[in-house]
Structures are given as C-alpha cells and as structure tokens.
Amino acid sequence: MKKYKKGVLFFEVEILDAKTRDKLCFLDKVRAAPVAGRFNTPTWPPGGSRTGQRPVGCGGLETDLQLIPLSLSPLLALGQSSIPVFLTEYAGPLLIYLLFYFRVPFIYGPKYDFTSSKHSVVHLACICHSFHYVKRLLETLFVHRFSHGTMPLRNIFKNCTYYWGFAAWMAYYINHPLYTPPAYGEEQVNLALIIFLFCQLGNFSIHIALRNLRPAGECLRMWGFGAIICTYPPLGWWGWALMPTNRCPSLPAVALFSLVGFIQMTIWAKGKHRSYLKEFRDYPPLRSPIVPFLL
C-alpha cells in the first residue's frame, strides 16, 4: 500500500514466509530506494535469510533484491537470528552435564563435592556427551545454513526444557556417587561407543552435504545411510544411552530422552522428505525418511 507525505513516497511492507504465508514482520512508512549494487552475491546472507533471494530449492523467498527498499536492508540479517537460539540450546546441556560430572557443591552433598567417579564408563560418557554438544556448537557457527532464518520465541523455551532438563536428569544418575557400571560390562560399553561414533561421523557428513547443497535437480549424496534423512541423531543417542545404562534409575531417564528425541526426529524427517520430493526432481520417492521400510 502506498502512502504520500510531503511529497515523499512511503510503503507499508509485510514480510511473509514463502511456504506457510505466516507474517514475519510488518513495516510502516518504508521509504522506497534501490539497493542495486549493495550486495556481491544473490545468495546473501550466507546464513540463509528469509528476506533475501535464495537459490531455487533452498527454501527462501523469491525476492528480487533490487526491489527491496533501502530501509529494509537491516532485515537482511534476519537469517542469523536463529543462531543464538541454537547456541543457547546446545551450550546448556554441555555446561549442566559438566556440573554433575565434577560434582559441584549442593548436588550430592558435601562429602562428594568435587570428587571423581571410580568407573571409567562414567568418564567416557562425559567425553562423548561433551563431544556431541561441542560438535553441535561448532556446526551451528561454521557449518549450518538455516533455511528458516527465524523461529517462534516459544521454541527456545520448549527446546531448552527438553535439552537442559534431560541433561540434568541423566547426568544426576550417571555421575551419582552410588552409580554402578553396566550389567554387561566392557562388551556393552564398546558396542555402544562404536554406534555413537559411527552416528556422529555419519551425522557430520550429512550436515556437510546439506551445506554444499547444489541447485535443484541435483540430489544429495550422503555417506552411509544416504537413503535415510534423519537416522543418525536418534541412533547415536541410543548408542550413547546404552553406554552407561545399568539397572539403576538412570534407565528411565535415558530411555525417555531417546524416545522423545526419536519422535521429534521422525516429525522433522517426514517434513524434510516431503520438501525434498517437491524441490528435487530426481529425489527417490520410495526413500524412507527415518526407518527403512517402516517410517
């Protein structure tokens, strides 16, 4: 809608999601001005903005940057707004787990303050847990390109409740002074470690493949379970959960954490599967989103 004030032309601008048509932002009294030549690449910004032009198949708005008013240019950085959310989600479990691992005061009682577990599997579980979240933090900063540059504010509360809450619940029992090692000993620990490391490597390969996503028409080639979009994350967590789990109260915590994570991954995987079917002409329609031949 156009508005005139003292000979100056203004616009009312609504920024909508390309797929859901949800309103992301409303701007009043936007002065029209060309922005041609302000950007060196049509894929600005690298993080994946919802307001800048994106390559076909990457999920952005189909917008000509030359038609965007000059006063809208700060909004082109919206693609970075998801990064602090993910950093918050992933830094929380890392720090919370370490508080229990080092047995800081007011957790297990003065007798056990800053003591160390005598079981090697407890230390191994902490190393693997920390490695996973450090990997996620680094991938958020240097690898991921977000097709959804913004997200609802409620997501940070929901996701932090899941990640932080389960991290505290599992860490409390696994690092407890009365913890007992797995019933099947080294065989259980070694098998779980292999599963965990295999899935971490596979998950990283998929993240790299998604970062290097080519224009529409070229399908992704992923290492390992290339036919399954989101198999690695839940399988990796099951491997980690199997590592320190025994018959003590830690079992319900790791089981519920893995189950909730699997349900969420299934929802995401089916959504990605539908998106890829639309965006890539040669994407195999019979490919399983998460569990071969089942889901």
State the average pLDDT over residues 189-200.
94
Query: Measuring CA to CA, how many Å separate 113 from each of 87, 110, 178, 270, 273?
Result: 29, 5, 14, 46, 48
pTM score: 0.67
- Secondary-structure percent of the chain, ordered helix, strand, coil, rounded to 5: 50, 5, 40
- The rounded percent of the chain whose pLDDT value lies above 90 is 30
In angstroms, how far is CA 147 from the centroid of its own chain?
12
pLDDT tens digits along 113-128:
999 999 999 999 999 9
Residue 4: strand pairing partners? 9
Given a contact cutoff of 8 angstroms between Cβ atoms, the answer to whether 181 and 119 are in contact is yes
Q: What are phi and psi of 15, to 5 degrees?
A: -105, 120
Reduce the secondary structure of 115-135 to three states and give it as a string.
CCCCCHHHHHHHHHHHHHHHH
The token pair at 181 is: 């090692």
Question: Could you tell me the pLDDT band of residue 85, with boundaries at 50, 70 and 90?
Answer: confident
Question: Could you tell me the pLDDT band of residue 34, with boundaries at 50, 70 and 90?
Answer: very low
Q: Sheet containing 8-16: give its strands across.
A: 2-5, 8-16, 23-31
pLDDT at 179 over 70: yes
Rounded Cα distance between 268 and 162, Å, is: 16
Number of residues assigned to the chain: 295
For residue 188, give the H/E element and its range: helix 185-211
Type of residue numbered 208: I
